[in-house]
Amino acid sequence: QLTPSSLLRIGQLSNVDLNEDIHELETELPRQRPNEIPHNEKLLSLKYESLDYDNSENQLFLEEERRINHAAFRTVEIKRWVICAMIGILTGLVACFIDIVVENLAGLKYRVVKDNIDKFTAKGGLSFSLLLWATLNASVVMVGSMIVAFIEPVAAGSGIPQIKCYLNGVKIPHVVRLKTLVIKVCGVILSVVGGLAVGKEGPMIHSGSVIAAGISQGRSTSLKRDFKIFEYFRRDTEKRDFVSAGAAAGVSAAFGAPVGGVLFSLEEGASFWNQFLTWRIFFASMISTFTLNSVLSVYHGNAWDLSSPGLINFGRFDSEKMGYTIQEIPIFIFMGVVGGILGALFNALNYWLTMFRIRYIHRPCLQVVEAMLVAAVTATVGFVMIYCSRDCQPIQGSSVAYPLQLFCADGEYNSMATAFFNTPEKSVVNLFHDPPGSYNPMTLGMFTLMYFFLACWTYGLTVSAGVFIPSLLIGAAWGRLFGISLSYLTKGSIWADPGKYALMGAAAQLGGIVRMTLSLTVIMMEATGNVTYGFPIMLVLMTAKIVGDYFVEGLYDMHIQLQSVPFLHWEAPVTSHSLTAREVMSTPVTCLRRIERVGTVVDILSDTSSNHNGFPVVESNPDTTQVAGLRGLILRSQLIVLLKHKVFVERANLNLVQRRLKLKDFRDAYPRFPPIQSIHVSQDERECMIDLSEFMNPSPYTVPQEASLPRVFKLFRALGLRHLVVVDNRNEVVGMVTRKDLARYRLGKEGLEELSLAQT
């Protein structure tokens, strides 16, 4: 039996024979590398394919464009706005749903546990309360983790890396399906209620994107419903634009930051941007936060008040003592440095953990068990901290939702419990706004330490949950500690409100972990509702990013890399000008002739060893004197539709075809084209011919062999291509450059590195 690699080697050898003109062959390359290696970060997975952002300008497309008149294009423009409004409304509603359900379920859980603790404090037997808390957490998280692990693994995590990849042009399987949305929403609710160190804000971005992708298509393949609307938008380019709007709407609903949402989409998400899109995306964001605001204010009983613009409200920072003076700016910058270092530490720890998880904990049941253990340990750590804490604060005048008395005197509550015995969102707001003296430094120190490790351990579990809130919480805790110690050190001469430092710490920590700059500044500014904080927050985030980037890259980029996604950054690696298209491309290329035998097409498509998606079409000249020049490019999906509709030359001649194929037939099959195995082609039909000239893209982008890698990269990246044909000077196809060919060059620590392709 031949292993795939030996097959490939044979393929390469035969390739050598065929292409005599290529003299530098693989001769001295040491190939002793094992075929099976443990997972590492220098791999590219074959699982991921590109999206087709390049419009196929075939004859069908031209016909359709001729048919649609000018007025119809205007309605298309109006439809875009309608879709954006709907994206905003639905995203807002989903956010409301998550918020309300989490509030109620978490409230129920904390009440049950609190009653239990109160009962056992008097009688003894607190270990039962601990067990109750741990079991409740673990069982809720078990459900949340099970639906993710067994039903839709792509819903795990915050979803921001996935959306980032999607907007970059990588097709992540299942990422924008309705099923994913349902699992994501339920998963978020369950993991927050389960008391994990997670937030519900990050997943909103993913949810918004799925909603956008769903609405813009006017149908759901999961539900098998087609509303027959928005058919014009059924292609990757249009969908991508709406998905960026959805991501923005998600951020906007999560933080009540519409401008921040647009900028997030611009900075983190969209790799492709156009000016008109900005205004539409802003519209979607505004609608989203407004919907959330109005629905939540009705829910809270003060309609028309519009006081809760986001899932998390940082509260108002406008009192006088919250202001800052110019002398404090160096202090803020120092906090940025601390945030950068801590963020880098967080990322480095999470990197090792994720690597371990990918290598060893890959079975779904193990993942569920791990999530349950984390939940139980989180509860235990919280309980032990509360148990050991002797930091009691008077209950009067404080706004603690679930005051736990435990060993405090009557009428007092345990201050550690406000931090641990609460949903993370509430804890963040408490840390920002509780009056000075609500926490003693010991409590804050222990809390920061514990929560840092818990959050780091939690991110990357098979639950859907975000990292925004835990980061903010860690930062707010050490920031507040910093503020308190500052006023100690200076003997109260800077008697500043520690809440201000908590805010800066939160910004620094979040910036140190995710390394966002512009959008995070604006999000924090909008969430605090204070424009004057813009300057210190910007400085803090800037320092955090600079310091953090010195050590290790951002969390999302790290996870994208660990998932072996062929992600294309803005620029090619700087030292890669000596590489040419010849070395980058894959060769030989499977080409189709313009009029091709059906049997050949079916065989090529069914070949599992070469799962190609684009095929250059060459002139089908029977005499060999002429060179087979490149005529066009056809995609696998188009071929499948053609085979399905049996558009064969012979049938056309016999007038068997009822109607001509239209662009609509291709759109109806989008985005889930049937696999080749499901298409039945009889033995007779295999002998038929198929004429591709009507359907292929007659003008694919090509580059000469001598083009340098940065040049190829720029073309590929800027146009969002999927296939780039390399031709020689006779217009003969020499090779094909795809995303994986470009993404494998990366600037590592020692210079240019080449990643290997791997089956995952």
Partner 1 sequence: CRVLLPALALALLGLAATVGPRQTLALEVAEELAEELWSAGLPGDLPELEPECRSLLAAFAEGSAALTGCLGRRARPVRLCQDCHDHYRRLLAQYGSIARAVGNSSESHNCAKSILTSDRLQIVVTLSEFFNETWEAANCANCLKNNSEGLSNSTEEFLDLFNKSLTCFEHNLQGQAIDLSPNNYTEVCKNCNETYTKLNDLYNHLQRMNRQGGESGHSAHLCIDVEDAMNITRKLWSRTFNCSFPCSDTVPVIAVSSFILFLPIVFYLSSFLHSKQKKRILILPKRIQSNASLVNIQEKYS
Residues 350-389 that bind partner 1 (CB under 8 A): 356, 358-363, 366, 369-370, 373-374, 376-377, 380-381, 383-384, 387
Q: Which is nearer to partner 1, 461 or 537 (CB)?
A: 461
The least CB distance from residue 704 to partner 1, in Å, is 15
Eight-state DSSP code of residue 729: T
Half-sphere exposure of 134 (CA within 13 A, CB side): 16
Q: How far is the CB of 153 from partner 1 (least distance, A)?
A: 14
Q: Work out whether 122 is an interface residue with partner 1 (CB under 8 A).
A: yes
Indicate which single residue of 430, 735, 739, 743 sits in contact with partner 1 (rule: CB under 8 A).
735
Distance CA 257, CA 205 (A): 13
Nearer to partner 1, 412 or 596 (CB): 412
Cβ(202)–Cβ(476) under 8 Å? Answer: no
Q: How far is the CB of 123 from partner 1 (least distance, A)?
A: 7
Q: How far is the CB of 144 from partner 1 (least distance, A)?
A: 18
Q: How far apart are CA 412 and CA 328, in angstroms?
A: 34
Backbone angles phi, psi at 139, to 5 degrees: -70, -40
Supply the minimum distance, in Å, between the C-beta of residue 409 and partner 1.
4
Tell me the closest approach of the beta carbon of residue 130 to partner 1, in angstroms.
5
Give the nearest distance from C-beta 156 to partner 1 in angstroms: 16
CB nearer to partner 1: give 300 or 316: 300
Shortest distance (Å) from residue 391 CB to partner 1: 16
Residue 302 or residue 626: which is nearer to partner 1 going by CB? 302
CB atoms within 10 A of CB 699: 12
- Write the CB contacts of 127 (distance below 8 Å, at least 6 apart in sequence): none
Is residue 490 a contact residue for partner 1 (CB under 8 A)?
A: no
Q: Pick the stretch among 124-132, 147-155, 327-335, 655-663 that binds partner 1 (CB under 8 A).
A: 124-132
**Whole-angstrom Cα distance, residue 750 to residue 573?**
13
How many CB atoms neighbour CB 645 within 10 A? 16
Neighbours of 180 (CB within 10 A): 28
- For partner 1, the binding residues in 220-279 under the rule CB under 8 A are none
Least distance from C-beta 403 to partner 1, angstroms?
9
Touching partner 1, residues 41-70 (CB under 8 A): 43, 46
Burial of 6 (0-12, 13-18, 19+ CB in 10 A): exposed
* 14 interacts with partner 1 by CB under 8 A: no
- Establish if 77 lies at the interface with partner 1 (CB under 8 A): no
Of the candidates 14, 59, 104, 127, which one interacts with partner 1 according to CB under 8 A?
127
N-to-C CA span, the chain: 22
**Distance separating alpha carbons of residues 284 and 306, to the nearest angstrom:** 18
Q: How far is the CB of 404 from partner 1 (least distance, A)?
A: 12
What's the closest the beta carbon of residue 135 comes to partner 1, in angstroms? 10
Rounded to a whole number of angstroms, the minimum distance from the CB of residue 758 to partner 1 is 4
Which two structure tokens, joined as six digits, stand for 577?
């000008």
Q: Provide the residue type at 169 as one letter.
A: G
Which region, judged by CB under 8 A, interacts with partner 1, from 27-35, 265-273, 289-297, 425-433? 27-35
Binder of partner 1 out of 76, 131, 542, 679 (CB under 8 A): 131
Q: Which of residues 394 and 675 has its CB atom nearest to partner 1 in the complex?
A: 394
Smallest gap, in angstroms, from Cβ of residue 560 to partner 1?
A: 17
Strands 170-171 and 49-50: antiparallel
**Minimum CB–partner distance for residue 575 and partner 1 (Å):** 8
Any idea which residue has 């399987």 for tokens? 173
| Positive/negative CA dihedral, 204, 207, 209, 212 | negative
Q: With binding defined as CB under 8 A, does residue 726 bind partner 1?
A: no
| Residue 674 within binding range of partner 1, rule CB under 8 A | no
CB 268 within 8 A of CB 516: yes
Site residues (CB under 8 A) for partner 1, limited to 525-584: 575, 578-580, 582-584
**CA gap 95, 688 in Å, rounded:** 54
Residues 6+ apart with CB under 8 A from 737: 581, 584, 585, 586, 703, 712, 716, 723, 724, 725, 726
Q: Output the six-digit token pair for 406.
A: 């435990």
What is the Cα gyration radius of the chain?
Answer: 29
Site for partner 1, residues 588 to 627, rule: CB under 8 A: 588
**Binding status of residue 585 toward partner 1 by CB under 8 A:** yes
The candidate with the shortest Cα–Cα distance to 595, out of 709, 691, 501, is: 691
Biggest distance spanned by C-alpha atoms of the chain = 99
Q: Which residues of 326-355 are buried (b: 16+ CB within 10 A; e: fewer)?
A: eebeebbbebbbbbbbbbbbbbeebbebbb
Instruction: Please identify which residue in 49, 391, 526, 741 interacts with partner 1, judged by CB under 8 A.
Output: 741
Contacting partner 1 within 297-316 (CB under 8 A) = 300-302
Chain positions 313 to 342 lying near partner 1, rule: CB under 8 A, are none
Nearer to partner 1, 276 or 360 (CB): 360
Is residue 22 a contact residue for partner 1 (CB under 8 A)?
A: yes
Name, in order, each residue with C-beta under 8 angstroms of 531's C-beta and a sequence gap of 6 or more.
525
Q: How many residues bind partner 1 (CB under 8 A)?
A: 89
Residue 38 beta carbon to partner 1: minimum distance, rounded to whole angstroms: 6
Q: Which of 429, 479, 461 has its CA nearest to residue 310?
A: 429
Stretch 378-437 residues interacting with partner 1 (CB under 8 A): 380-381, 383-384, 387, 394, 396, 399-401, 406-407, 409-411
Region of 214-222, 288-296, 663-671, 749-757 interacting with partner 1 (CB under 8 A): 749-757
Q: How far is the CB of 219 from partner 1 (least distance, A)?
A: 36
Contact by Cβ (8 Å): 747, 573? yes
Rule CB under 8 A: say whether 759 interacts with partner 1. yes
Query: CA-CA distance, 10 to 5, in Å (whole number)?
Result: 9
Distance CA 268, CA 160 (A): 9
Selected binder of partner 1 within 13, 14, 18, 26 (CB under 8 A):
26
With contacts defined by CB under 8 A, name the span among 30-38, 141-149, 228-236, 343-351 that binds partner 1: 30-38
- d(CA 254, CA 737) in angstroms, rounded, equals 39
Q: Which is nearer to partner 1, 258 or 460 (CB)?
A: 460
- DSSP assignment letter at 201: S
Q: Which amino acid is at 67?
A: R
Residue 5 in contact with partner 1, rule: CB under 8 A: yes
Q: Which of 37, 68, 489, 656 binds partner 1 (CB under 8 A)?
A: 37
CA distance 515 to 268: 10
35 belongs to the binding site for partner 1 (CB under 8 A): yes
In the bound state with partner 1, the residue whose beta carbon lies nearer, of 151 and 369, is 369
Find the shortest distance in angstroms from Cβ 539 to partner 1: 35
Give residue 745's Cα distance to chain centre.
22
Q: Which stretch binds partner 1 (CB under 8 A): 128-136, 140-148, 534-542, 641-649?
A: 128-136
Which residues, 6+ apart, have CB-to-CB distance to 746 below 8 Å? 42, 573, 752, 753, 754, 755
**CA distance linking residue 82 with residue 638, whole number of Å:** 30
| DSSP assignments along 443-498, one per residue | HHHHHHHHHHHHHHHHTTSSS--BSHHHHHHHHHHHHHHHHHHHHHHTTTSS---H
DSSP letters spanning 222-235: TTTEE----GGG-S
Out of 100, 121, 517, 518, the only residue in the binding site for partner 1 (CB under 8 A) is 121
Question: Which residue in 100, 349, 442, 758 binds partner 1 (CB under 8 A)?
Answer: 758
Looking at beta carbons only, is 399 or 606 nearer to partner 1? 399
